[in-house]
Amino acid sequence: MSWRHVGSRALVALGTLAFVLVFNFFLFRAVGDPKKDLIRSRLTPAAKEALLKERGLDRDKLTQFRIYLSQTLRGDLGTSFTSRKPVLDEVLGALPNTLMLVGVATLLSAFIGGWMGVIAASRRGSAWDTALTQGSLVFWSMPFFFIAIIFIWIFAVKLGAFPTGLKSTPGGPTSGFAYYRDVFEHALLPVTTLTISLLAQYTVVMRATVSDVMNEDYITTGRAIGLPARLVMRRHAVPNALLPFVTLFALNIGFVLSGAFVIESVFSWPGIGDLGIEAIGNKDYPVLQGTFLVASAAVIVANFATDLVYGLLDPRVRTA
């Protein structure tokens, strides 16, 4: 991969991040007035006055923007209107929970969905093909929250097999094997919900691309010289079908993150989505800005990393 390609993708990522930084400031001021909502908050008069001066909320918009930009570039995302804690601390405290949920669900859905797509493509027109593709499309057509509610009703309420929400049991173990088992039990339903919701996209794309590749001349040649069907599929068909799959993976990152926010709300999972939804109810603008900025930055970084992986897979990009 050429350094020019890496540099060009890095510039695109930085430019996108700069746009998000500016957009983040004006977005939440377009839907409300932080100064008025701060005044109506439950903080003491002294705390309100201190926040007004600290963030320049009593000054004009241009001055507020300069203060916001200067503080954000120094890593200062502000102070929560409700908790009076630094927003960066709250966001960084919630981010690992979201990354755990999103990371596991994304990898599982991509791996299982890709595997299902390969099986469907290798058995086109069969009952397996119909069951895998149509079955996954049924779940894809359902909203995230609907699948979550169904799972809670079946596995938590009716069967009592799993907790209905939170990351761990209040008052339960805080370390050791018992703690990790408790977290696993709490995470199983939200991770499964998000994974099942994403399966169909990977299944359909992998099935379509593998089916196209199977019609190529080099696949026909491999079969003609007597190579086993599994070897042809594993060494030739699947690797050459990965490019659209990786593209889908990159495009899906933002979609998965938005879906994770819904799942976090339904299961009370303490991630940045749940933090942001709570901030909406409290009209806590600094927390809203912080969660939006961090979530957007995570998507930009993930897409940049995917661009580099794409360059490794495609020789045409590698030498560009």
DSSP per position, 1-60:
--HHHHHHHHHHHHHHHHHHHHHHHHHHHHS--HHHHHHTSSS-HHHHHHHHHHHTTTS-
pLDDT: is 58 or 280 the higher one?
280
Residue 318's pLDDT band (boundaries 50, 70, 90)?
low
Q: What is the pLDDT of residue 260?
A: 80
Q: In whole angstroms, what is the distance from residue 228 CA to residue 104 CA?
A: 33
Percent of the chain with pLDDT over 70: 87
Burial (Cβ within 10 Å: 0-12, 13-18, ≥19) of residue 202: buried
Arithmetic mean of pLDDT, 28-41: 63
Model confidence pLDDT, tens digit, residues 292-316: 888 888 888 887 887 777 767 666 5
Residue 37's pLDDT band (boundaries 50, 70, 90)?
low
Q: In whole angstroms, what is the distance from residue 88 CA to residue 92 CA?
A: 6
Q: What is the pLDDT of residue 191?
A: 92
Domain boundaries of the chain, sorted by first residue: 3-73, 88-318
Q: What is the pLDDT of residue 289?
A: 86
**3-state class of 221 per DSSP?**
helix
Q: What is the pLDDT of residue 135?
A: 85
What average pLDDT does the chain have?
Answer: 81
Burial (Cβ within 10 Å: 0-12, 13-18, ≥19) of residue 101: buried
- Joined together, the tokens standing for residue 39 give 């005044």
Domain at 88-318, CATH from 1.10.3720.10, 3.40.50.300, 3.65.10.10, 2.40.50.140:
1.10.3720.10
Highest mean pLDDT of the ranges 26-30, 54-58, 153-157: 153-157
Model confidence pLDDT, tens digit, residues 186-232: 999 999 998 988 888 888 888 888 888 877 777 777 777 777 777 77
Residue 32's pLDDT band (boundaries 50, 70, 90)?
low
Model confidence pLDDT, tens digit, residues 227-285: 777 777 777 777 777 777 777 777 777 777 777 888 888 888 888 888 888 888 777 88
Q: What is the pLDDT of residue 254?
A: 72
- Joined together, the tokens standing for residue 186 give 């709490």
Quick check: 39 pLDDT over 70?
no
